[in-house]
Amino acid sequence: MLSSFRSAKAAGTWRVYDARWLQFSKWCAGQGFDPYDCAPATAASYLQELTESARQHGVGPQTIEQASAAVTAHFSLVGRPSPMQHPLAALLREAARRTLVPRRRQRELLTFDELETFVAFHLLDPAAPPSLEVRMLVTGCVLAFTGLLRFDDLSRVMVHHELLRVEPGAALEIHLWRSKTDQRADGADVTIGATGGLSCPVALVEQLFAAGAYNRFPGEGEDAGPLMRAVTPGTDGAQRLQQVTAPLASPIPALPYSYVYPRVTELLRAAGITKKVGTHSFRASGATAAVEGGADRTLVRKTGRWAEHSKVFEKRYVKESAATMAAVTRAMTFRR
């Protein structure tokens, strides 16, 4: 019964709920009572504390929403009514929705020219060949830009020959076994075309495969692992993959965000790019560059796996340049 209830929601949802429930349980323990004995008025006090903390940190109402849902879910697991279903808790959630305004983190976009500068600085200096780690991170950034990939998507790019197909000089076919908007893990296919030039994603992936000696044809019961993974110094001092293959029961982990983000920031700064760029900025930058370059918006949206009528796609990802927007005004004055 419990497993059936948990399976009704995605694993990612339960990870959030379990973390919020743990926070609530610790808060209750600090108050001297069991979380399952929490009265509605006490639960309201907890939500008030969360609301005040969210206000101080410039966070939106999602913390309060998640905490309420997590408590209700865990009470449902034991067949008990949740204090978060009380009208008082509902009033506090509504107040949080109305009053908590998140501070938007300002992330700037990279142009394609800046991406090429980034690639050239780190990968094309014959006097200073890149380490395997640098080649891997730079290639990952190019894939995120050209494939409109989230960081989670990038971490799920697997090198197995059936999950990452390479057509030299033509395209990459990436099968993502799961993504943020694919809670049921149906999978999605992403095609990234060859561009030629310095930052051609197809060529860079082929070069990374050669430099890292990835095994894309593992034996039965073996995991070929993700593209983005840990490296280690070899006996000759050069870097190599820490794991080439692993048992399927213990698959090779991808590099975590906590490692990738600061390293990418360092590499951008080293290349003279001082914009405030997060890993998600590559996805937004690629979408904007594609639309600005004349690509059909529908195809861009499909490539990035945005919902058909996504407001987020238009409001947060595609940012027309001032010159493009100014052309709207000029068009008004056109006379035949």
Residue 130's nearest CA partner among 144, 140, 143, 120 is 120
The alpha-carbon radius of gyration of the chain (Å, integer) is 24
* Dihedral pair phi/psi, residue 164, rounded to 5°: -135, 95
Residue range 81-137, pLDDT digits in tens: 999 999 999 999 999 999 988 776 667 889 999 999 999 999 998 888 999 999 999
DSSP letter at 36?
A: G
Residues of the chain with CATH 1.10.150.130: 2-99
CATH of domain 112-324: 1.10.443.10
Query: Residue 72 has which token pair?
Result: 């209700």
Specify the domain boundaries for CATH 1.10.443.10 within the chain.
Answer: 112-324
Fold of domain 2-99: DNA polymerase; domain 1 (1.10.150)
Task: Specify the pTM.
Answer: 0.68
Q: Is the dihedral of CA 150, 154, 155, 157 positive or negative?
A: positive
pLDDT, tens digit (0-9, with 9 covering 90-100), for 255-300: 999 999 999 999 999 999 998 887 778 998 998 888 888 888 888 8
Please determine, for residue 336, whether its predicted confidence score (pLDDT) is greater than 50. Answer: no
Q: What is d(CA 215, CA 55) in angstroms, rounded to the nearest whole number?
A: 49
